[in-house]
Amino acid sequence: MTFSFETPTPGSVQDKIRFSARGLRLAHNMTQRALAEKSGVPLSTLKRFEQSGEISLAALLAIAGALGALDAFEDLFPKPAASSLEELGSARADRKRAGKRQG
């Protein structure tokens, strides 16, 4: 048995999102027009998204909200290990100083 693990690419993730969104819309028995009205996204934008994956982040989030899938975006980018923004700023400054000393 052979397993192949493909590294995701922006294009493959884009396709997965558009196919999943379309599938969820259909699972809710919604037409494109009904989803466009519920989300406030123009029908032409929704059609383009389902066909090509092209969409603005704001429109994608509106569609996700209308489909009850907005929570999936909350963990899109994991939080850094530092416990505060101040620690992140301090670590960045330390790296800058170290880089200047090496150069």
> How confident is the model over 38-96, as pLDDT tens digits?
999 999 999 999 999 999 999 999 999 999 999 999 988 888 776 666 766 766 666 66
Is residue 54 in some structural domain?
yes
How far is 14 from 32, CA to CA, in rounded Å?
A: 19
Please tell me which residue, 90 or 20, carries the higher pLDDT value. 20
CATH of the domain at 34: 1.10.260.40
How far is 34 from 65, CA to CA, in rounded Å?
A: 14
Is residue 89 in some structural domain?
no
Is residue 49 in some structural domain?
yes
Is residue 59 in some structural domain?
yes
- Total domain count, the chain: 1
Q: Domain residues for 36?
A: 10-78
Residue 97: half-sphere exposure toward Cβ, Cα within 13 Å: 6
How far is 83 from 48, CA to CA, in rounded Å?
A: 41
